[in-house]
């Protein structure tokens, strides 16, 4: 398997270039489908049955699902990646560029590099004969970077696949962190935090500014400031973060339908009648998330002079908690590292990893994150992949999947 991965390295890079040069921003539905069409023959050549799940009802292109049936009563592997990128069709960042060991381009790492590493590993398994008996489902979402709405529809099929699987492997990027001597160390990811959005809307009694702090109250902006301050002081705890990403207030204030723009009007001599804030909440477990939301709701419900507040939470990415089963999977990956003569991969601090699709199945199946290549500058026009790490990750994945696929359920 190692020899096959190394022999096919340039072929894999050529496929990566082809995928990157096809724009597939989450809202470019035609582009996302085009990437899926490029990948279909790659999986079919390995004996997979490929299905396209359209997601028009969620406002997105759809998902590619490839299934390989092997020996009965052995573990079913669920391999997760995504077709889309954060770079939409109007982005100036559109092209794959290689410079020796490194390459830049939209999605070159996140997650087209991960999908190529997945395919390279599966090809190596096929050549070695270990794919023949393996039960594998590949699930490539078309909207990981900007999930469709309603999210319950956009992720229903992925959740169903998770309930049928025995192991989930996420092919987003390899995390590297500074070791004791300051050099970068490959890390194993056994947890991801959630990503939920919240909105606070404050309505207050308006009037002439000369009456502020009196019978007319303090206005909406002071009330919102107090709420945000209380949330900042009272809610944070280890592995939990809160970000207030946008705020607006005035005599009138409104949030645009895309929830990414705001408008306001007012004067210095008018007590503001409306204030709005939006932000996110990231936690490590469902229990921590529920507790945080309860605290935030209680803060919003407190009395504020002349004002009332309402907080709402939206569908988001659930957490992937660091379970014992996930730690056991990392131990198996480290057994592969030993076979390859590589150092042990310590568990990554979950604060250093964002949310992802594997979290939707984490409550039902043990999993590992970060089987794609290492990179830097993700989600920016400086996104750069380490091509040597793509080959390395394909080797790790091929050996790990071969061992897991041979285990009984």
Q: Compute the distance between CA of residue 209 and CA of residue 268 in angstroms, rounded to an integer.
A: 7
| Residue 286 confidence (pLDDT) | 87
The helix/strand/coil state of 21 is coil
Using an 8 Å Cβ cutoff, are 357 and 83 in contact?
no
CA dist 272 and 216 (Å) reads 11
Residues 56-73 have pLDDT tens digits of 999 999 999 999 999 999
C-alpha–C-alpha distance, residues 205 and 192, integer Å: 42
Q: Which stretch of 146-155, 203-212, 339-348 has the lowest confidence by average pLDDT?
A: 146-155
Helix or strand (DSSP H, E) at 288: helix 286-300
User: What is the tens place of the pLDDT at every residue in 284-322?
Assistant: 988 999 999 999 999 999 999 999 999 999 988 999 999
Q: Label residue 391 by pLDDT band (50, 70, 90).
A: very high
d(CA 230, CA 249) in angstroms, rounded, equals: 18
Give yes or no for a contact between 244 and 267, defined as CB atoms under 8 angstroms apart: no
Report the CATH architecture of 196-313. 2-Layer Sandwich (3.30)
- Residue by residue, DSSP assigns 327-371 as HHHHHHHHHHHHHTT----PBPPGGGS---GGGGTTTTS-EEB--
pLDDT of residue 259 exceeding 90: no
- What is the reported pLDDT for 315? 82
What single-letter DSSP state applies at residue 71? S
> Within 10 A of 70 (CB to CB), how many other CB atoms are there?
18
What per-residue confidence (pLDDT) applies to 205? 96
| β-pairing verdict for 367-368 and 167-170 | parallel
pLDDT, one tens digit per residue, over 155-177 is 999 999 999 999 999 999 999 99
Q: Assign residue 230 a region: left if phi > 0, alpha if psi is -120 to 50, beta otherwise?
A: alpha
Name the residue among 299, 319, 320, 308 with its Cα closest to residue 368: 320
Per-residue burial over 49-61, b = 16 or more CB atoms within 10 Å of its CB, e = otherwise? ebeebebeebbbb
Which pLDDT band holds residue 40 (cuts at 50, 70, 90)? very high
Average pLDDT of the chain to the nearest whole number? 96
> Residues of the chain with pLDDT > 90: what percent?
93
Domains of the chain, residue spans: 2-192+320-405, 196-313
Q: Which residues contact 282 (CB under 8 A, 6 or more apart)?
A: 193, 194, 195, 196, 240, 241, 242, 355
What CATH number does the domain located at 2-192+320-405 have? 3.40.630.10
**CA–CA dist 252, 217 (Å, integer):** 17
Residue 352 burial (CB count, 10 A) = 11
The predicted pLDDT at position 180 comes to 86
User: Can you tell me the mean pLDDT for 195-204?
Assistant: 96
Rounded to two decimals, the pTM is 0.89
Give the pLDDT band (50/70/90) at residue 179. Answer: confident
């Amino acid at each position: 398997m190692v020899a096959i991965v190394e022999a096919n390295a340039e072929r894999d890079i050529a496929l990566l270039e082809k995928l990157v040069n096809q724009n597939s921003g989450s809202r470019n539905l035609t582009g996302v489908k085009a990437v899926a069409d490029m990948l279909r023959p790659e999986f079919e050549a390995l004996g997979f049955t490929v299905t396209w799940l359209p997601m028009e009802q969620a406002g997105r292109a759809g998902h590619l699902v490839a299934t390989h049936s092997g020996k009965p009563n052995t573990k079913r592997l669920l391999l997760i990646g995504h077709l889309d990128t954060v770079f939409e069709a109007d982005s100036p960042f559109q092209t794959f560029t290689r410079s020796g060991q490194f390459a830049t381009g939209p999605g070159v790492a996140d997650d087209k590099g991960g999908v190529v590493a997945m395919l390279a590993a599966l090809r190596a398994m096929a050549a070695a004969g270990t794919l023949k008996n393996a039960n594998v489902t590949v699930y490539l979402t078309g909207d990981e970077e900007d999930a469709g709405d309603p999210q319950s529809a956009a992720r229903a099929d992925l959740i169903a696949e998770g309930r049928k699987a025995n192991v989930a492997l996420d092919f987003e990027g390899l995390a590297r962190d500074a070791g004791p001597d300051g050099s970068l160390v490959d890390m194993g990811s056994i947890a991801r935090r959630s990503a939920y959005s919240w909105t606070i809307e404050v309505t207050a009694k308006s009037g002439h500014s000369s009456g502020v702090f009196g019978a007319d109250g303090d206005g909406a902006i002071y009330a919102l400031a107090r709420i945000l301050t209380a949330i900042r002081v009272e809610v944070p705890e280890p592995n939990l973060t809160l970000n207030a990403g946008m705020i607006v207030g005035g005599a009138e204030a409104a949030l645009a339908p895309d929830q990414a723009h705001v408008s306001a009007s007012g004067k210095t001599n008018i007590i503001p009648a409306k204030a709005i804030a939006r932000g996110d909440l990231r936690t490590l477990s469902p229990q921590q998330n529920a507790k945080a939301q309860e605290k935030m709701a209680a803060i919003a419900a407190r009395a504020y002079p002349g004002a009332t507040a309402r907080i709402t939470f939206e569908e988001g990415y659930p957490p992937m908690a660091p379970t014992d089963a996930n730690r056991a999977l990392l131990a198996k990956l480290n057994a592969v590292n030993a076979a390859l003569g590589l150092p042990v991969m310590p568990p990554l601090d979950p604060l250093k990893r964002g949310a992802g699709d594997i979290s939707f199945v984490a409550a039902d199946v043990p999993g590992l994150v970060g089987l794609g290549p290492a990179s830097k500058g993700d989600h920016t026009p400086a996104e750069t992949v380490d091509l040597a790490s793509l080959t390395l990750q394909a080797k790790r994945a091929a050996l790990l999947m071969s061992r897991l696929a041979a285990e009984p359920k």
